[in-house]
Amino acid sequence: MKKCAVLGDPVGHSLSPVIHRTAYDAWGLDWEYDAHRVEAGGLADFLDGLDPAEWRGLSLTMPLKREAVPLLDSADDWVRVSGAANTLLLEPDGTRRGLNTDVSAALELTEGLDVDTALVLGGGATAASMLLALAEHGLERATIVVRDPARATETVRVVTSHRPVQLDVVTFEDLPTTVVVADLVVSTIPVTAQTPDVVASTMDAAHVFEVVYDPWPTPVAAAAERSDRPVTTGLDLLMAQAVHQVRAMTGRDDVPVEEMRRAAVEQLESRVDRAPGQREVQDE
């Protein structure tokens, strides 16, 4: 038996356990996948306590994606470019390899979109992954909206070091008076931050990519749906990156994608008494 898990803070709401376990069950694989709350600054100690003979892989969410990078022995290209890892593989020899399947998933989901300009709400690791993917597809300019401009410093650095994209950083306070031209809106912020002013700033974009999947729809997504604009959902992103994770952790290519998504949807529908605003990804 091998053990895998999702780590983060908060993490109790994560859909990753049901998604990964569904794959294991479909294959008759006697593996475990659980959720462990690991606070910022606690990842190194958690990793040091794992036996690589028992453990195979970890999914990393907020606030651990950037914290993981200096703890790795090797990494894929997107970890090196982005400075963030959402997947950690524990090899039999005890070494740790990091992957960024967020970028890989975002590349797939934005393939074919005609995006020269973007409005990105939030400036953390997931925002960086989305911007890197869009830059690969020809993004020329984006406006990043954050509470504190310092929160976007690392994202601006990694994206502009990779591709010549013009990135403007504004605060949520200044957003109502900022002229924003965007083909696409990417929202990585919680529903509590999606105020009427924020929603209004998204209304001219032709397409919305809403990273939050619970609760659904978010104010940004609901506004897009009311105006018949296409929305790529956080569940789309979660599923796409999870498929890459399952392949990397198990070494199998026959991933039961439909069964995994069905299980995730059923889990979401069963959450009647959940606290508002909880979700898998939070950058702000």
Q: Which residues pair with 57 in a beta bridge?
A: 4, 89
Query: Is 65 labeled as catalytic in the residue annotation?
Result: yes
Q: How many CA atoms lie within 13 A of 217 on its CB side?
A: 15
Q: Say if residue 52 is exposed, middle or buried (CB neighbours under 10 Å; 0-12, 13-18, 19+).
A: middle
Region label for 9, one of left (φ > 0), alpha (ψ between -120 and 50) or beta (otherwise): beta
Q: Say if residue 257 is exposed, middle or buried (CB neighbours under 10 Å; 0-12, 13-18, 19+).
A: middle
Out of 21, 65, 244, 261, the active site residue is 65
Is 185:209 a contact under the CB 8 Å cutoff? yes
Residue 207 contacts by C-beta under 8 Å, 6 or more apart in sequence?
A: 113, 115, 183, 184, 185, 229, 230, 231, 232
- Nearest-angstrom CA–CA distance, 260 and 29: 15
Residue 235 amino acid letter: L
The token pair that represents 88 in the structure block: 């950690």
- Nearest-angstrom CA–CA distance, 188 and 146: 10
Q: Say if residue 140 is exposed, middle or buried (CB neighbours under 10 Å; 0-12, 13-18, 19+).
A: middle
What residues are labeled active site?
65
